[in-house]
Amino acid sequence: MITPRNIFRHELIGLKVKVAESSHKGFKGLKGKVIDETKNTLKIELEDEKEIIVPKNVAIFHFKLPDGQIVEIDGRIILGRPEERIKRKFKKI
Amino acid sequence: MPGRRPRWILRIAEERMDILFQLADKEFSKHPERSHRYVELARRISKKYNLRIPRKWKRRFCKSCYKFLKPGYNCRIRLSRGKIHYQCLECGRIMRFPYIREKKLKRRNKIEYHTSKKRADEKVPINNNITDRESRSQ
């Protein structure tokens, strides 16, 4: 189960996401579904089926969990390869 | 066997693999390249934490090109020579899985059925005798 406590370690692909804040103005306010993840970026499919690549370390994301909760996450926390995030130790920011 | 890996890490890893395969199954009809990518990610998790791919999804990707297989679309399944043949139509490789366990089970069931039938035949007259006696005494 994905909960707000273990979302940093869990799968982000398939979740609905909104880019709440970004140092690049063009990314701000974009909504869509995560379809791919790399070490430094998230690939998001927008509602009009366009795909964009958003860097993680300059943005703040709002993820919607399968049970409807919305979690705000700083992109710097979810830096790292998807399979290595499971065992990483996280500093409190 | 888990060693230094805590139990909750393994649980999350298993859940993530399951989620990835479910998404791969869902996305295949529209975006097959995504489902191939999800198989790659799930395999990375399984290699990193030395976990098996869930049994349900074990046969749903090609062992040679690691692409997601959907029977009827890019995979052909046939029975021949006592094995199940999964042919990947992307690269042409055939995976073979024996089903000897099911065959043995069938054989055993057949034998058990016959033996139990014989015993049932033996028992029936005895039971009848007992009931007869009881009915007479009553």
The pLDDT score that the predictor gives to residue B118 is 66
pLDDT digits (tens, 9 = 90+) for B89-106: 989 999 999 999 999 999
The pLDDT score that the predictor gives to residue B96 is 93
Q: Is the ipTM of this complex over 0.90?
A: no
**pLDDT band per the 50, 70, 90 thresholds, residue A83:** confident
DSSP A33-85: EEEEE-SSEEEEEETTS-EEEEESTTEEEEEE-TTS-EEEEETTTT-S-TTTS
**pLDDT band per the 50, 70, 90 thresholds, residue A53:** very high
CA distance B112 to B91: 44
Per cent of chain A over pLDDT 70 is: 96
The CA distance from B35 to the nearest CA of chain A, in Å, is: 10
Of A6, A14, A86, Cβ closest to residue B19: A14
Average pLDDT over residues A34-51: 90
Sign of the CA dihedral B47, B48, B53, B57?
Answer: negative
Of A56, A67, A68, nearest to A8 by C-alpha is A56
The pLDDT score that the predictor gives to residue A9 is 85
The pLDDT score that the predictor gives to residue A40 is 92
User: Across the interface, do A86 and B45 touch by the CB < 8 Å criterion?
Assistant: yes
User: Across the interface, do A86 and B15 touch by the CB < 8 Å criterion?
Assistant: no
User: Across the interface, do B49 and A1 touch by the CB < 8 Å criterion?
Assistant: no
Contact residues on chain B for A84, CB-CB shorter than 8 A:
48
The pLDDT score that the predictor gives to residue B136 is 57
The CA distance from A47 to the nearest CA of chain B, in Å, is: 15
The pLDDT score that the predictor gives to residue B134 is 56
Under-50 pLDDT residues of chain B: 1
pLDDT at A47 over 80: yes
The pLDDT score that the predictor gives to residue B87 is 93
The pLDDT score that the predictor gives to residue B119 is 63
The pLDDT score that the predictor gives to residue A92 is 56
User: Across the interface, do A14 and B45 touch by the CB < 8 Å criterion?
Assistant: no
The pLDDT score that the predictor gives to residue B77 is 93
